[in-house]
Structure 1
Amino acid sequence: MIKIILSFTLLITLCSCTKANVNVNVSVIEEATKTAPPQQTQTLETIIESIQPDGLKVTKIVEDNLNNDGNKQSIVVFGDFARIFVVSESQVIGELKDSIGVAHDNIDVRIQKLDQTDKKFIVLYSEQNGMDGYGEGFSIFQLNGDQIEEVNYNFPETTGSGTRKLEDYDNDGIYDSVTYVDVNDTQSHQLIFYQRYDALGEEKVDLQYTNEEKKFIYPAEPEKVIKNFIEDFHYKEWLEEELKQFVDNEGLIHFNTEDYINLSSMDYGGLDIRIHELSVPEPNKIFLVKDESMDSSELTFTLRKISNQWIISKIEKKTS
């Protein structure tokens, strides 16, 4: 009887010790497959503790089989996405490092399927809030064996502001890297450039109008016709058909406008031009056009009215 009591006491003691030794400190575990989160092994917890930066807590863990080896890997986020590591149950695979060339903040990391295969990718989403406005984009990674590879990224590096999305823009079942360009111009153009997420295949473009009418509206005033015409040269490759509507001679759309107008200012708020009407008898009107940010000569635009619309008939460099 004494032996039975001792054995039972020993069993209770062992169970209590076992429970006391399991202490999972990670508070947030996200299962990418939406199933119940698995229990972390002591080995995985030890690996996470070995890479934990000073002063940063684990704020998110996403788990899935990323390289199709039959085992699960974990994406471990420290702090407010300050450091992000990929680990397995036996080793540290590496840290996510994007190639974005401007200051930015990482705001989310997800495991996503981007095409019609079962391949899984790590997508890191980023943003920037600066003096030039708001910018957002992403970086795509894949796990090749035990190596992290960056597949592609898209972020408004030139100006720091703009929208870059990872979405199936053309609804073909494959995600695209999509660049939205809102043009600072008369027509409120929006150019959408999209290409397969891994940059394979050709880049395509879609032209939209974000004005109230959602379409091209011919300007009523001759000054606005001139301004609209000059603005279209910044994205001439995609707006050539619109340019043709403003002239009575298509040869005028090949005028070397960029020699006299700083078209790059379109990326930073719009053109800085002065349009001054000269006193000329009807039916023609002549205007002097000068870019205030350049020391170039003035241009003269001659317009005449056809079917109740002002049409550009001549562009010349002003002579002294």
Structure 2
Amino acid sequence: MKHVAYSLLALTISFCSIACESTFEPIDESKGYNFSMYGTLNVEADTQWVRVMPVGETLIPSDSSSNGTVVTITRVSTGDTTVMNDSLFVFRYGQALAWNYWTTEKIYPNEVYRIDARNPEGKTSFAIVETPSQLEHPLVQYSGPDARGIAKGSYSKVFVEVSVKYIVEFPLTVTTEKVKFSLLNNVEYSNEGNYSVSIPNGIIGISSVFKIPESRFRIVGSELIIASGGKDWPDLSNLSEEEIFLPESVKNVENGVGLVAGVALLRMPLKSCYNDEGVHIPCEPLN
């Protein structure tokens, strides 16, 4: 089985990078597009973030004044609506700005949410998001010295991301770097609803990425990332890389462009955990 998953953050960054090219044409407003919206609703997180930007003549705005956009999130089953807080993010030494909207409102699993954006003139865009079930915390067995291990658990849906992230320190230059390896192809699913994922030797992988011997670096932090997606998680398996990054190829935003998807994403410490009786147990997540 082929599994293809792209980070929504990566999609957003790549889309913004394309927009900086002089040959890129802005989104056609005549199609009725009012806002671009990118983000996830993570049932495992305590804070949700969605980037909402008005569609205009430029995709990299530099005006830091408020555009008056109001973004709300509604739990459809109850009708409860929350106004999301706005935060201005500055990139490229002040040359590019983006509005991110956030809330600490609890996001429930197996629910439908609606995210609405409205400007002072009454123009709107919205996205309907379905959240997946929460994930069972995996049982991790990990050997630190040679940076390898295995994680096991049960699943209700095939994962959209399984990866391991390391924080690497380089003593000679007194610097640190983060490096991430996808483990999606290492996941084995059973007919009984269980899975296991092997975690290969991270030292060998890091040495290959930075092209230096293992004596010149050390791992100072690590985590396992596991995520399953809701029904709106995009199937990108039949799209080329060029098609994936076109604004209209992957979207669930009405009267706009972009994608807001439901996800259950866990960040687990990459270590073996035991209770007071010495029994091997799942670790507490880092979320």
TM-score by length of structure 2 reads 0.22
More relative contact order, 1 or 2 (CA 8 Å, 6+ apart): 2
The structure carrying a bigger helix percent of its residues is 1
Q: Name the structure with the higher strand share.
A: 2
Provide the TM-score with structure 1 as the length reference: 0.21
